[in-house]
Structure 1
Amino acid sequence: MIKLTHLACVAALALAPGLALAADSTDVGALRFIGAVTVPNDATVDGTLVGGLSGIDYDAKTGLWSIISDDKSDKAPARFYVGALTYGSNAFTAIDLKKAVTFRQGDGTAYPNAKAGGVVPDPEALRVDPETGNIWWTSEGDRKLGLSPFLNIVTPEGRAVASVPMPDLFQVHKDQELGARHNLTFEGLSFAPDAKSVWVGMESALYQDGPIATVEAGTMARIIHIGRAGEMLAEYAYPVDPIQAKPAGKNGDNGVSEILALDDHRLLVLERSGVEGADGVWKMYIRLYEADTTGATDVSGINALAGAAYQPMKKRLVLDFSKLPELGHVDNLEGMSFGPTLPDGNRSLVFVSDNNFNDSQITQFLAFEAEPGKE
C-alpha cells in the first residue's frame, strides 16, 4: 500500500464511498482546477513499480478507483491498481493505492512479456462495468509481434471473463501496411451513461484511413460504438489536431489518449500531443474536446477513409491545459474519469499521466470540477 498526500493543500472534504454521480450532469461547459498529487517514480505497491498509468475509472458503488498500468509485463505482470483519492471542492489531498491486481489469461496465468512469447499485452484503457463490477480493458497489441489489439473483461480480482469481439478492420497485418498501426490503436474506452453500450477510441488513423498527424495536418481516428456483446452500433471519424509544435528533436505526435461518453451522441475526447526537444525531453500539449456524432457519417461500412466522402464528428474545445498557469507542468495525460459529485452538485473529473517509467516524466493526478455550460 502506498499513501500519498499533497502537503501544500489545505484540508479537503473527503468524498464518501458510494456517493452517486449526478444523474443529470452530462454537460461539461468548462473545467475548474481543484488540485494535483504526484506519485514518486520509485513508488511500489505489492512489490510492483507504480508507473505507466494510462487509464482510470471510478466505481460509485465502492467509492474506489481502478487505474491501469501500460507495463507490457516487463517490470511486473500486466496489472491495474485499486485505490482511493481524497479531494473536495478546493483541494486534492491524498492518494491511497491499496493493491495491485494482475490481469489473468483464460488459463489463469499472468500475461507474458515479449522475451517469454505468447500473447504480450499492451494495456491502455480500463472501465468498471456499472452493471457487474467487472473490469473492461484494452490492449493496443503489437504489430511488430503480429499481435492485434483487443478488448477483454476480467473480474475485480483479475480473472478472465470474456474477450469482446472487435471488427477485423482493426487487426494488425505485420507484413503489409493495412489495418492498425503499431502503438496507435485502442487507446480510449467508455461505457455509455446507461451502461448498455461501449465506446472504443483509436489513438490515430488506420493505414488505409490516411497518414498520422503532422505539424502541418491532423488525421482521422475512428471511434467505435458497440453493444455489450461486441455488435457494431456505429463508427465515426474523429478529427485529430495537428502536432502542436515543431519538434526540435527527432519526433512529435498527436492522438486520442482517452474518451468519456456524456450521452448517446457526445463524448469528451482527450488529445495528447508530444513534442521532443533537442535534449531528448518531451513536452506535452494536452487539449480536451467535446465531440458530437450529430450529423456525422456512420463510417462502419467504409473500409478506407482516405479518399472517401463522409462527415466527421464535430468538436468543441473545453480546455487547453497549457492555458492554465496554476497547473504548472502537465505531463503525459492518458487517463480520464468522472468521480463523485461535489457539494455544489457538479461532477468531478480526474486525469492521470503516464510517466512511461521514465525519470524525466512524472505520474500526476489532476482533479477538476466539471462546470455545466451556460444557457
Structure 2
Amino acid sequence: MRRLFLILTLLLMIAQMMSAQSELLGVNRQRHFSGILPGNYSGIAHIRGDEYAVVSDKSFSNGFFVFKIAVDSITGDILSVRDNGFHGNDMKGGDLEGIAYNPVTNTVFISGEADNSVAEYTLQGDTTGRRMSVPDVFRHATGNAGLESLSYNVHTGMYWTMNESTLTCDGLQTTSVNRLRNRLRLQSFGEDLLPRNQYAYLMDEPVADKTARNYAMGVSEVLALDNGRLLVLERELYVPKQKIGAFVNCKIYEVNPSEAQPISTSEPLTASSPYMDKRLIYSWRTNITLLDHSFANYEGMCLGPFLKDGSRVVILISDSQNGYGGILKDWFKTIVIK
C-alpha cells in the first residue's frame, strides 16, 4: 500500500511539473491599426485594464506611450489599438528598448541600450532616481546589442532582462554569413533592484547565409510568467541589397531558471558553458516579396488579459522603423497560452 502511495505521489508530481509548462492554444494573425502613428515601438507592458505602456527606441524624449488595446475575450484577437498620449520628460537619447510595470510600486522600469541602464519612471513619465544595479559585464555590449528586453512578474517578484547579442567578452556576434550562435546572459533582479542570478542562453543557428544590407540576430524580448518560467523571443532579421526577399524569423522559447545552473558574471561564456534548456512554443516568418508585405520586426512582448476559458493572451508589437519606405507597418499579433 505504501509503495502504491509513493508511486501515485510521484505520478502526481510529474503531472504537476508537466502542467507548469506553457501550452500554445491558439495563434491570431498580425494586424495593423490606424489608431496609432508609425513609430519605432520596441517594448510593451500591461498596466491595468486595457491600458499598456509602450516604449519607442527613437522617441523624441525619454518616456513611454499609453496605448488602449481591446482584445476579444474568446479568441484573444486584437480588436482595436488607440494611442492615448506620450508620458515623458526632457531627457533624450536613451535608446529605450524594454519596459516593465510593477503594480506594487505603480511605476514602470525602462531599459536603455545607450548606456545599458534600467531606470524607474512614474506613470506621468518622470524618473524617480531609482535604477537597477546592472552587473558590469553588460558594459561589454556594443552598439545595439545591449539590454533590449525587460519584464517583471508580480507573482515571483522578479525582474528579468537579457542582452540582445553576444557581449565582446563572450565572443563574436552572429552575422548573416558567419553561422555563429549568439551567447547571451539572462539576468534577474529582486524588488530591491539588486542583481540575483545570471544564466547562459544560447540562440539558434541563423538561417541567413548571404551578405545583407541590414541584419539583426538577437533576443528582442523576454516575458516573465506567473509560474516562474520565461518566454524568450529570438528574432533574425535579414534584408538583402535589393530588399525583395527580406524576412524576419521569430521563435518563442520557454525556459525555466529553477532548472538551470547560474553562471559567474566575471567568467566569459564558452562552448562548454551551462546553457539553459529551452523548449519551442511557436515560430513564424514574415517577408517582403512582390506579393507579400507582411515583414514585421517583433521587438515587444507582454502578458495580456485572461480569456473566458482561463487561457492567457500574449501580445506582441513590432518596430516599423517609422513606417520605413511607406511599406513597413506597426504590426500587432497575439498568441494564446495556458
In the alignment, is residue 149 of structure 1 matched against residue 116 of structure 2? yes
- Give the aligned length: 308
Quote the residue 1:233 is aligned against. Answer: 196
Q: Give yes or no for contact 2:156–2:228 (8 Å, CA) kept in 1.
A: no
Picking from 71, 75, 95, the partner of 1:122 is: 95
Residue 316 of structure 2 is aligned to residue 361 of structure 1 = no
Structure 1 residues 30 and 43: CA distance shift in structure 2, 3 A? closer
Give the aligned partner of residue 163 of structure 1: 131
Aligned to 1:57: 45
Aligned residue identity for 1:356? Q
| 1:160 partner amino acid | T
* Amino acid paired to 1:340: P
In structure 2, stretches of 5+ residues that fail to align are 1-18, 287-291
Q: CA deviation at 1:356?
A: 1.5
Alignment of 1:88-127 (within 5 A): 88=72, 89-90=74-75, 91-102=77-88, 104=89, 110-112=90-92, 120-127=93-100
SS at match of 1:321: strand
Q: Percent identity?
A: 26
Deviations 1:86-143 (A, max 9, x none): 12123432112111111x3xxxxx123xxxxxxx3100010111212211100001xx
2-structure distance, mates of 1:320, 1:200: 21
Equivalent residue for 2:162? 201
Out of 249, 256, 259, the position equivalent to 1:285 is 249
Q: Are 2:50 and 2:70, in contact at CA under 8 Å, matched by a contact in 1?
A: no
State the distance in 2 between where 1:137 and 1:195 align: 19
| Alignment-mate amino acid for residue 334 of structure 2 | A
Residue pairs, 1:295-314, within 5 angstroms: 295-306=259-270, 309-314=272-277
Distance 2:206 2:215 in 1: 7
Asked whether the 8 Å contact 1:321–1:330 carries over to 2, the reply is no
Deviation at 1:274, TM superposition (A): 0.6
Aligned residue number for residue 9 of structure 2: none
Structure 1 residue 297: Cα displacement: 2.7
Contact 1:66–1:80 (Cα < 8 Å) also in 2: yes
**8 Å contact kept, 1:249–1:279:** no
Q: TM-score, with normalisation over the residues of structure 2?
A: 0.83
User: Which amino acid counterpart does residue 151 of structure 1 have in structure 2?
Assistant: V
CA displacement 1:198-243 (0-9 Å, x = unmatched)? 1111111110111112452212110101112232210001111122
* Cα contact 1:331–1:355 (8 A) shared by 2: yes
Q: Give the Cα–Cα distance (whole angstroms) in 2 for the partners of residues 363 and 38 of structure 1.
A: 6
1:192 aligns with 2:123: no
Moved more, 213-222 or 233-242: 213-222
2:232–2:252: 8 Å Cα contact kept in structure 1?
yes
Distance across 2 between alignment mates of 1:263 and 1:346: 13
Bigger share in helix: 2
Q: Distance in 2 between matches of 1:301 and 1:139?
A: 20
Q: What SS class does the counterpart of residue 170 from structure 1 fall into?
A: helix
The aligned residue for residue 299 of structure 2 is 334
Q: Output the CA distance in 1 between the equivalents of 2:186 and 2:137.
A: 13
Distance 2:311 2:25 in 1: 11
Distance 1:33 1:297 in 2: 32
RMSD: 2.5
Stretches of structure 1 that go unaligned for 5 or more consecutive residues are 1-24, 45-49, 105-109, 113-119, 142-147, 172-178
Which sits farther off after the overlay, 51-60 or 86-95?
Answer: 86-95
CA shift at 1:181, angstroms?
1.4
